[in-house]
Amino acid sequence: MSQEIIQEGLKQEFEDILQNNDPLQTRDFLDHQNIIDVANLIYEYPDYESNIIAGMSVHRAASVFKILEFPTQKRIIQTLPASKTAELLNELPADDRTDFLEELPSNVVRELIKLLNPEERKITLSLLGYPENSVGRLMTPDYVYVYEHNTVIEVLDIIRRVGKNSETIDVIYVINDKGELQDDIRIREFILANPDKKVSELMDERVISLNAYDDQEVANEAFKMNNRVALPVVSNSNKLLGIVTIDDVLWVANEEFSEDMQKIGGTQALEQPYLEMPLFSLLKKRATWLIVLFLGEMLTATAMAYFEDEIAKAVVLALFVPLIISSGGNSGSQASTLIIQAMAVGEISIRDWWRVMRREILSGLSLGALLGVIGFLRILVWHSINPEVYGQHWIMLGITVGLALIGVVLWGTICGSMLPMILKRLGADPAVSSAPFVATLVDVTGLIIYFSVAFMTLSGKLL
């Protein structure tokens, strides 16, 4: 049975339950659905979104709430009764609750924190105290820890007692009497070990940890490189503070990817989904870059004016301006996108700049030569059809266009590949060297290259 048929059946059943208006039947129905199916019902029936959350058991409601988009979460919290809001916020995992609260205005956060019980309030305030986009904002304090002197049987007993409240029990953390992280051991090691064996005998002290003040991108890289479902988070003095789980990091990676795609497209990153973004705010995000790029393109007119005499003497040169600048801009955009993506996934770093440049020089020369040959052949074909179009110096004109294409494409690939690395070295986001920005830069310089080549090759002939 297709997923579409299942969804239609689910919607029909839900509509029937709404008509019956039976709270017990509603709860029984919602609590037996997959959380993703309940989330889809919320998106499908926005008028009933708060009723759906309120109608579920609090544990299931929290599981659904944390996977919803922020605008939907915000609307639900605004319409839920205070008692239900308190239940929901107290049930949410600390990291998901912090992720939700940090998006709200400070006055709203203050009111919602008052609804938390003392223990959850203390945890939430602690997590909100870490810098935005830091690992500390992602971590949860719910984990299982043991000591070196514990035996395996004692560890298993600890897991039974406290594991149900933990985010994950795949990995058990070893600390000393000062609370400092000593090691992390997978649970399978305890399950397979002799019950009388001590924790110290299972330790290899090859623990991998994150600092609470690390950027969230550091966590993303650490998970990719170490094949873990969770990583411990420590303070500057190596005190174990909490853990970060892979699901939180995947959300971060998705947000970073969306932001980079928006920046590469030539706009500022959007804080909300496109359809939820106020139109005026969306215009501001787009207008800033458009103005910057427009001002940059004005330099193209300045460059054209500088070579006005050459254009006046050989108007035919102006025919190839769009061809030249678009080729340079396209090659630069290609290189920029490839390098930004490679840097984002950790394939290259700033230290690889010379290797990248060598590859792009070879690529630029090869691609430029290919386009140069095609450009020359285009002039050859048009000349054979209508000899008067390019005149008696058509061969030199073809050579000019071919050489200019090699130079412009080479310059475009160098700019597109090096600019993201330079920005990264300066501490800026490489994604801001977006494809439109690189294209604008290469448009201006491409004109200078084109007319400089034309001046050298056509002096005494057309010029």
**How is 221-289 classified by DSSP, letter by letter?**
HHHHHHT-SEEEEE-TT-BEEEEEEHHHHHHHHHHHHHHHHHHHTTSPPPSS-GGGS-HHHHHHHHHHH
Structure confidence at residue 358 (pLDDT): 92
> What is the token pair recorded at 258?
């969306």
- 19 vs 34: CA distance, rounded Å: 22
- 183 vs 148: CA distance, rounded Å: 9
Structure confidence at residue 181 (pLDDT): 93
- What lies within 8 Å, CB to CB, of 46 at 6+ separation is 72, 75
* Residue labelled with tokens 């330079």: 422
Bridge partners for 147 per DSSP: 175
Any long-range contacts for 257-261 (C-beta under 8 Å, 24+ apart)? 257/344, 259/431, 260/340, 260/344, 260/431
Structure confidence at residue 272 (pLDDT): 62
Please measure the distance between the N-terminal and C-terminal CA atoms of the chain and give it in whole angstroms: 73
Q: Which of 132, 95, 99 is nearest to 241 (CA)?
A: 95
HSE of 131 in the Cβ direction (CA atoms, 13 Å)? 8
- What lies within 8 Å, CB to CB, of 278 at 6+ separation is none
Structure confidence at residue 258 (pLDDT): 67
* Residue labelled with tokens 């110096």: 393
- 331 vs 283: CA distance, rounded Å: 29
- Domains annotated on the chain, with CATH: 3-129 (1.25.60.10), 145-246 (3.10.580.10), 274-458 (1.10.357.20)
Q: Which of 140, 231, 131 is nearest to 181 (CA)?
A: 231
Task: Write the Ramachandran bin of 92: left for phi over 0, alpha for psi from -120 to 50, otherwise beta.
Answer: beta
Phi, psi of 423 (to 5 degrees): -60, -40
Largest CA distance in the chain: 97
Structure confidence at residue 206 (pLDDT): 83
Q: Which of 128, 168, 125, 175 is nearest to 148 (CA)?
A: 175
- 116 vs 104: CA distance, rounded Å: 16
Distances, alpha carbon 167 to alpha carbons 28, 67, 89, 109, 213, in Å = 26, 16, 16, 24, 21
| Predicted TM-score (pTM) above 0.95 | no
**Alpha carbon of residue 222 to chain centroid:** 16
- What lies within 8 Å, CB to CB, of 225 at 6+ separation is 346
3-state secondary structure of 324: helix
Question: What is the residue-level pLDDT of the chain in tens, covering all 463 positions?
Answer: 455 655 677 777 787 777 777 778 888 888 888 888 888 888 888 888 888 898 888 889 998 998 898 888 989 998 888 888 889 989 888 888 888 888 888 788 888 888 888 888 888 888 888 888 888 888 888 888 999 999 999 999 999 888 877 777 888 999 998 889 999 998 999 999 898 999 998 988 788 899 999 888 888 888 877 878 889 999 988 999 888 888 888 877 776 666 666 666 656 666 666 566 677 776 776 677 677 667 766 777 777 777 677 666 667 777 888 888 888 888 888 888 888 878 876 788 888 889 999 999 999 999 999 999 998 898 888 888 887 767 677 888 888 889 999 999 999 899 888 888 888 888 777 766 566 677 777 888 888 888 888 888 877 666 5
DSSP 54-97: HTS-HHHHHHHHTTS-HHHHHHHHHHS-HHHHHHHHHHS-HHHH
Residues 412/442, Cβ–Cβ less than 8 Å = yes
